[in-house]
Chains A and B, each alone.
Chain A
């Protein structure tokens, strides 16, 4: 009797020990190293960095290891660590036009300045299980560091201008200019609806990939009308620069991998504006194509109000998207119903009994 609520401390301690044991798995097998995770589960690491809002392949790999491969848990670990890191300033804005691209495609032009570069992608692979990977040792030379040759690889250092520049000149594409305003920071300031586009993009950049994907999909199926073309999808490496106050000139902090997606969408015109193309924008740390593309679609959908479009779907409702896109918040709140609710349940129980009794008495 009354045992259920006693012994919490002991139970927690034992649960932690069990988790540690489960995490390690069979101790006769070698433990997995952070290097192995970073190198061989790179896309998992990239997702954790993107949604964890912290560019650190090493810490992200650690989080993946500690979370036993549960990426939402790993994202949470990284976020909680990130929240305690001091901020010493903002880097200079990166210019993705200067990216050393590994992959760069456009679906709107057959060819364009800088060319199409397919790069590493699951697209066009046949999703057949490769049973040869089941071998402990992969065949020598198969994935070796042999030089991979292709037309686009001739000049990997070649700058590839942004595809949408072609439309800007003609005035067919809305221009996006830096208005010089300091963007807010959704992790440092409380949310106040309506949130401007900078804030929405910050939210989408860390939003759950699955949620963002589903929202993007919903707009394509008619819950909000977005008819996007992928003007450009690029993925590659960029330098990050920072100007320390005491130096007064920018120094390079390091390099990061980014995936960027720009969509072009029809806009019929209205409110005194001529018909024009509008953009959606997606950006994610690492190689994170599905996320960047979905983000660009949702970003555009969320501009419905600004563009005077009818709001027909959840993807166009910024309160809906902003408040539910974060998987650390969502996973926490959904899972909190595992916590004891004896008190509230008891209150409901008594209430229900009283109501049934009253109903019974009435019938008699």
Chain B
């Protein structure tokens, strides 16, 4: 399937590498939240810039897929543009910015505001797949903790947050428990997005290229953000609404307007915002 134009195989990776990644994906889906080691390849983009997600997408994508790539919720941020261009070039697939039209959505740091549908696949770029890494730097050790379901460390950390700050002071990459078993990093999405993972009809796949781990949340899996009965999990809310579309239910980015401290707030999800403002995708 080598493309004459690029000299590379369809979607860049050779078929053997894709098969290896798909095997890891199958295992990941079978054991939700468990980090499956895989022999990640060097990709032509730097580690830390989405190589895990790119490998997962490359292993999954077929000629009939429609790909959407977002970074910080937007289709037009430089790295999203770069990754989308990579797949247009190496796989020649159709791309879209409309959430509802995409069969595969590769993302960094956000889950789209529009509810996902059955059959859609979310592919996350993951920098540090290990939710316990900041508490225990050794990989040998954290694997044992996961195997034993020994998550006391994490609860102690959350408790210390509350005793020190009066709240759980984790605003993104907020740890979740999948199917009542593994604690998982949802990747650095804001905790605002965490509830979207719970019983989502879409398949969520997480790729960490540098750390060479793949994990998954299968459709309709229960995903619980860690909390305590007396300190229940809550998401961020803004007193403002989006300055462009007026949305009050979306994640907002703050834009500094001048040195005088004037600022306004706009939707981080550019497709959602454009749809609401009447440009781009129609509301679904």
Interface residues of A (CB under 8 A from B): 1-2, 4-9, 11-12, 76, 79-80, 82-84, 86, 187-194, 319, 323, 328-329, 331-336, 339-344, 346-351, 354-355, 358
The stretch among B145-153, B199-207, B219-227, B253-261 that forms the contact with chain A is B253-261
Q: For A343, give its contact among B78, B166, B190 (CB under 8 Å).
A: B190
Taking a contact as CB atoms under 8 Å apart, the answer to whether A11 and B39 are in contact is no
Closest-by-CB residue of A relative to B173 is A344
Given A191-B212, A319-B140, A332-B46, 13 additional A-B pairs, CB 8 A: A2-B244, A82-B42, A83-B43, A328-B46, A333-B47, A339-B108, A344-B188, A346-B190, A347-B171, A348-B171, A350-B238, A355-B165, A358-B167
CB contacts (< 8 Å) of B254 on chain A: these are: 346, 349
**In the docked arrangement, what's the CA distance between A344 and B9, Å?**
35
The stretch among B59-67, B79-87, B113-121, B177-185 that forms the contact with chain A is B79-87
Asked if B127 is at the interface of the complex by the 8 Å CB criterion, the answer is yes
Taking a contact as CB atoms under 8 Å apart, the answer to whether A1 and B81 are in contact is no
Closest-by-CB residue of A relative to B140 is A193
Closest-by-CB residue of B relative to A186 is B39
**In the docked arrangement, what's the CA distance between A351 and B253, Å?**
14
* Range, interface on chain B: 35 or more
**In the docked arrangement, what's the CA distance between A7 and B80, Å?**
12
Residues of B244-268 contacting chain A, CB below 8 A: 244, 251-255, 257, 264, 266, 268
Q: For A336, give its contact among B46, B77, B171 (CB under 8 Å).
A: B46
The contact string, 1 if C-beta is below 8 Å from chain A, for chain B 121-138, is 000000100000000001
Least CB distance from B89 to A in Å reads: 13
Taking a contact as CB atoms under 8 Å apart, the answer to whether B172 and A7 are in contact is no
Closest-by-CB residue of B relative to A331 is B46
Asked if B8 is at the interface of the complex by the 8 Å CB criterion, the answer is yes
**In the docked arrangement, what's the CA distance between A319 and B139, Å?**
8
Asked if B57 is at the interface of the complex by the 8 Å CB criterion, the answer is no
Asked if B10 is at the interface of the complex by the 8 Å CB criterion, the answer is no
**In the docked arrangement, what's the CA distance between A182 and B191, Å?**
46
Taking a contact as CB atoms under 8 Å apart, the answer to whether B47 and A332 are in contact is yes
CB contacts (< 8 Å) of B76 on chain A: these are: 5-9
Least CB distance from B109 to A in Å reads: 5
Could you list 19 examples of A-B contacts with CB < 8 Å? A1-B243, A2-B266, A5-B270, A8-B78, A12-B85, A80-B43, A80-B44, A83-B43, A84-B12, A191-B212, A328-B46, A329-B47, A332-B46, A333-B210, A343-B110, A346-B190, A346-B254, A347-B172, A355-B169
